[in-house]
Amino acid sequence: MKKYTLLLLLSFLLSANIFAQGIVGKWKTFDDKTKAITSIFEIYEDNGAYYGKILLILNEQNKDICKTCEGKYHNKSLKGIVILNDLVKNGEIYEDGNITDPQNAKNYSCNVELITKNKLKIRGYIGFSIFGRTQYWYRVTKQEELDYNNKIN
């Protein structure tokens, strides 16, 4: 019986550790069609709210400036732009934030959920969450961070 209790306690501690890191860190995004990595984001916490800024654009079409963006981001560098704003942690969900699509400069309500320690579910929507779009972002590995560091800085 003690062996099972110890095993249960150990598995609980390991699973709790998975989510201890939270959403703070560097994340990669993918093109919905090609599945290629398109950008690297950094999510950070400031005064109890969470924000996300673009560190690096990887698709060749918008490498230095966003030629395909509409509105205020047209022909502007997207590097450093904060597009994820004001998320507040509520249990395991980060909610009540907003996300800007730089392609059209539109703002959407946003919720974020840490699915695993290395996978985020980003839900952007207008009005109700059922009327929206979901993306999954994946944590940048240590090796990827080393590889991208020269491009980010």
pLDDT tens profile 59-79: 666 566 777 777 777 888 888
pTM: predicted TM-score of the whole model, two decimal places: 0.79
Whether 11 is in a domain gets the answer no
Tokens 């959403």 identify what position? 23
Q: Measured in Å, how far apart are the chain's first and last C-alpha atoms?
A: 54
Whether 41 is in a domain gets the answer yes
CATH classification at residue 92:
2.40.128.520
Pairwise pLDDT comparison (16 vs 148), residue with the higher score: 148
Burial of 145 (0-12, 13-18, 19+ CB in 10 A): middle
Whether 1 is in a domain gets the answer no
100-122 core/surface letters (b: 16 or more CB in 10 A; e: else): bebeeeeebbbbbbbeeeeebeb
The 10s digit of each residue's pLDDT in 11-54 is: 444 444 444 569 999 999 998 888 888 899 999 999 999 999 99
119 touches 136 (CB < 8 A): yes
Nearest CA-CA partner of 143 in 28, 8, 5: 28
User: What's the confidence (pLDDT) of residue 8?
Assistant: 36
Adjacent-strand bridge partners of 111 = 123
Pairwise pLDDT comparison (139 vs 72), residue with the higher score: 139
Q: Is the pLDDT of residue 9 over 50?
A: no
Whether 42 is in a domain gets the answer yes
Whether 123 is in a domain gets the answer yes
Total of domains in the chain:
1
Please give the helix or strand (H or E) that residue 69 lies within, else none: none
Whether 6 is in a domain gets the answer no
Per-residue confidence at 145, pLDDT binned at 50, 70, 90?
Answer: confident
| Residue 91 domain boundaries | 22-152
Whether 17 is in a domain gets the answer no
Please compute Rg for the chain using Cα positions. 17
Taking residues 74-100, report their average pLDDT: 92
Whether 15 is in a domain gets the answer no
